[in-house]
Amino acid sequence: SSSAHRLAAVTVAGLGLYLAVSVLLFRLRTDYSLLHDVESDYAVGGWSRLMDVAFLVRGGVSAALILALAYAVPAPARSEIGVGLLWIWAVGSGLLAFFPTDLEGQEPATAAGGVHLILALAAFLAAPIGQLAIAWRLRYAPRRRPVRLVLLALPVPAVVAFVLLLRTRLAPHSLDGLWDRAFLACVLVWFLVAALRILTLNRVPVPV
C-alpha cells in the first residue's frame, strides 16, 4: 500500500540520519573510543544533545518500520509477539534520550543511569527476539520469502554480540563499545533490509 511505502521510505531516510549523527558524534567526541565506549556514553558531556537526537531518531525509525510491516504483511504472516517486542525496542530506544547513562566506573551511580540501563537491557533483549519471530512468520507471505532468510540470519549475530556485551560487564577498557555497535548494526540493518523490501514490493506508480 502507499502507506507502507511512505513509512518504509521514512525508515530508510531515518536510518541515514541516524548514521550521519553517529558519524558526526564520532568526529566530535575524539575522547571516546569505538571499541571501549558504548554509544550511550555520547549522551554525557559535550554534544550530548546530539546523542539524544540519535536515540529519538532510532525510536522513530523503528516505529515507522513496525507500522510499515502492519500495512505490508498479510494477517496470517504477522507475528503479534514479534511486533510487541519491537515496540519495546522502539519505545525503549526513544526513552533513552531522557535518562543519561552512567559512565563506566562512575560513582555514585545515578537514578537516571539506572533507568537507562534497565531500558537498554529491555530494548536490546527484545529487538533480536522480535525480529526472529517476525521473520519466522514470513513463511506465510510468499512475496516476502526471498528476503526471509536474511531477516532470519541477522538477529543471530545480534544475539551473540549482546551476550558478549553482557560478559564485559561494561568494565573500563573492555570491548563493550565494539559489541554494542555490532549489536546495533545487526538490528538496524534488519530494519533497512525489511524497509527496502517493502519499497520494492510497494512501488507507487508515477502519474504520466
pLDDT average, residue stretch 58-81: 95
Residue-range definition of the domain harbouring residue 113:
2-201
In a domain, 207, yes or no: no
In a domain, 175, yes or no: yes
Residue 207 has pLDDT above 80, yes or no: no
pLDDT of residue 140: 82
In a domain, 108, yes or no: yes
In a domain, 206, yes or no: no
At residue 174's C-alpha, the angle toward residues 128 and 114, to 5°, is 60
pLDDT average, residue stretch 175-194: 98
What are the tens digits of pLDDT across the range 17-30? 999 999 999 999 99
pLDDT of residue 202: 56
Number of folded domains that form the chain = 1
Predicted TM-score (pTM) of the model is 0.92
